[in-house]
Structure 1
């Protein structure tokens, strides 16, 4: 019979690199009795979990749903009651398209104390690792973080507003809707806006392509860019060396 007090910790694992978890998140893992972990969590992260702890993969990716959210909620509470400390380990930050608040609400409804350990969100970190700032003096005063696909399977209506702004626009979970998203930007008169796509950001498998709204979908298809990927639209992309190289190359072609 479990004699430990049930409790839940929602931990953001960061964008993929296992070294990018916070110290507080690491300590939570080291004290876990059960870990429920997502698809975007690096397996190396589990090396910090006690050997006797129960480790359960509950990943959800496009086209692959190991568990429905309602089932994950129930598992989280049941394991807390029967084992003690449950760490819900989520990619990025629990509250950035991570459904973390739904899990908090479910825990509270069952009188299980829960705490949150924020994580480094891929919406900022993946661009930063590539030395693309989401804000830059004189170039971008703000940034949007938008989901590419809503629960209904449609492109988010917020992208239409974002495309008309001067802000940097970061789109998560948007690769399958890339052509539709670039069409929205082009219709807003932004066909020449710099754009980049970063696949598997912060991991050894990281890949990046850059260009403009006009050609980024074609480039991504040619380079066989896959999910998970972060899409970045904005003048700040022009600061990346690969973009400057492309501009020189295109200028040379034009001159000929």
Structure 2
């Protein structure tokens, strides 16, 4: 699918972005470079075309073989994608979408995905935690060397705590990961978080349940927080998750093949 990149001139103001598919002839909906959408009346608006861009490339064909790492989806911003017909972001649980957006995963390990839920994290209940814990148990019994769980950020620290107790003495890393920015925004943290989480799941010596998120506001490294001692401390900051009364378990940076322990672990 191709979108036109344009400059719109209206009342002395210039807007630059991509024209989204229109629902009527009187309005132009533009996706700005900051990820937000604006609507303008066509009347009195001049359009300067700058070219086209391919926004939905054909997905890479995936085999159905099991990988070393299991990626389980529980919903949330981190596993969402943009629907360009509406400009909205909605949950996606298709592994082809993940591979299309994150081809770097292949350099870390082989993996397979399973959709558990596609829900807002505030709608998850203890019953969902039980289902997720059973799914992790089954993946471990079937040979998974690590688990990555995609989750909404608002209640991710509750889920990580619950599964920490449900999955005592897990033999492999179980890494929760989320995103503060939706994938359509240039400032999205989803890519960095998922790749660091996958690297931890594959290479971490720590068989813990925990949360992997940005350690700073930059894309330099992530912290792996213990599942029972972590909390979301800010609504939208990239480094919103902090270990409380405890140091993070580790510092991780997939770009440097780095896992640096920061506290004792099993």
TM-score relative to the length of structure 2 = 0.38
More helix by share: 1
Higher-RCO chain (CA-CA 8 Å, sequence separation at least 6): 1
Q: Which has the higher strand share?
A: 2
Q: TM-score, normalised by structure 1?
A: 0.39
